[in-house]
Every structure is written in C-alpha cells, then in structure tokens.
Amino acid sequence: MLRSEFCDVSMSSPTVADDLHMKLLYLENRVAFAKLFFPTEVKLAMDIAHAETSEFAGHLNETPLMQKKGLLSRMQTLSKAVEMGRRYFPHCSEVFDKFMEDDLTDLFYLEKGTPEEQLIKRKRFVELKEDVQKAFNKDKAELHRSGLSSL
C-alpha cells in the first residue's frame, strides 16, 4: 500500500521530502480532526494500527535514513487507521474528506479574523458537528443492520 509507494523514494530530493511531509501532515490532521469527535474510536483504531496517538515529532539527531523510515512507518500506521475509519464509518469519512478539502485552514483558527468572520466560522463548525453526527447515525444504523456493532 503506502509502503510500496514511498519506500523506494529518495529523501535527497527536497520536493519528495516535502511531499512526504505534506502527506504525513494531512494524515496527522485528519486523525486529529476525527479525534475531536470520536476520541475513543480513534484511540482504538490507532491501537489496532500499533500507533501512538500523539502527533509525529521528528528526531533531529537521527540520520536521514532513520528519519525517512520513521516518517514512512508513521504514515503507514496513520493510513491504516484512516482506512479502518473509512471501512467502518464511511459516511463520517465522507464528512471528514470534505472538511479536509474545504474547511481545514479556516475552522482550525476559530478565534482569528474579525468578529463577523469568527461568527461565520463558529456557525460552520456547528454545522460540521451536525453533519458528523448525522453521518455517525447513518454509519451506526448500517453497522447495526449488518450485525457488526452494538454501538
């Protein structure tokens, strides 16, 4: 999966390294966002994926090869957790996808901007919470119908 996509990539290219860091940042942000709404489920998915739930922290004293291996390992683990979320909570994942594409930079900084902008952001965040709850209810109903969960 991701391992084959990135393992043969040389970190010597700044563009490739930046791309790797951007993909990792995307996954870290997505998991952090999901954790806002579903802390227990995210913790379980991360445990199953054998990951720590804390954000990635680079180790400055590591060799570039060790840094690359750490990035790739973290990326693979986060990808596995995100894929589990997609499998068991597809409707929630769609809401998260849309948020990551459209609203990420705006809503992470609710306190920034004019009072009017802050009000708009807060209203959008409330809408987002409602969208996530509706999606969760759909996912929960589908899991219940399939007999996979007692959520």
Q: How far is CA 54 from the centre of its chain?
A: 12
Structure tokens at 12: 């010597």
Domain that holds residue 115: 89-151
Looking at the structure, tell me whether residues 71 and 98 fall in a common domain: no
Q: How far is CA 10 from the centre of its chain?
A: 25
Looking at the structure, tell me whether residues 47 and 35 fall in a common domain: yes
Looking at the structure, tell me whether residues 2 and 71 fall in a common domain: yes
Structure tokens at 65: 């090869």
Looking at the structure, tell me whether residues 76 and 113 fall in a common domain: no
pLDDT tens-digit readout, 7-39: 444 445 667 677 888 899 999 989 998 998 999
pLDDT tens-digit readout, 37-67: 999 988 888 888 876 544 445 556 678 888 8
